[in-house]
Amino acid sequence: SQDWAEMLYRMYSRWANKNGYILKELEFLEGDEAGIKSVTFLVSGENAYGYLKSENGVHRLVRLSPFNANNLRQTSFALVEILPRITADTDVQIDEKDLRIDVYRSGGHGGQSVNTTNSAVRITHLPTNTVVAIQNERSQLQNKEKAMEIVRGKLVQMQLEQHAETIGELRAGESAGWGQQIRNYVLQPYKLVKDTRTGYEETDPDAVLDGKIDGFIDKYLEMQM
Three-state secondary structure string covering 112-145: HHHHCCCCEEEEEECCCCEEEEECCCCCHHHHHH
Residue-level pLDDT at 109? 53
pLDDT at 206: 96
Cβ 128 vs Cβ 171: under 8 Å: yes
Looking at residue 178, its pLDDT comes to 61
Q: Specify the pTM.
A: 0.82
Per-residue pLDDT, 29: 87
Whether omega before 84 lies within 30 degrees of 0, making that bond cis, reads no
Nearest to 177 by CA among 82, 67, 40: 82
Question: Which parts of the chain register pLDDT below 70?
Answer: 66-71, 89-91, 107-117, 173-179
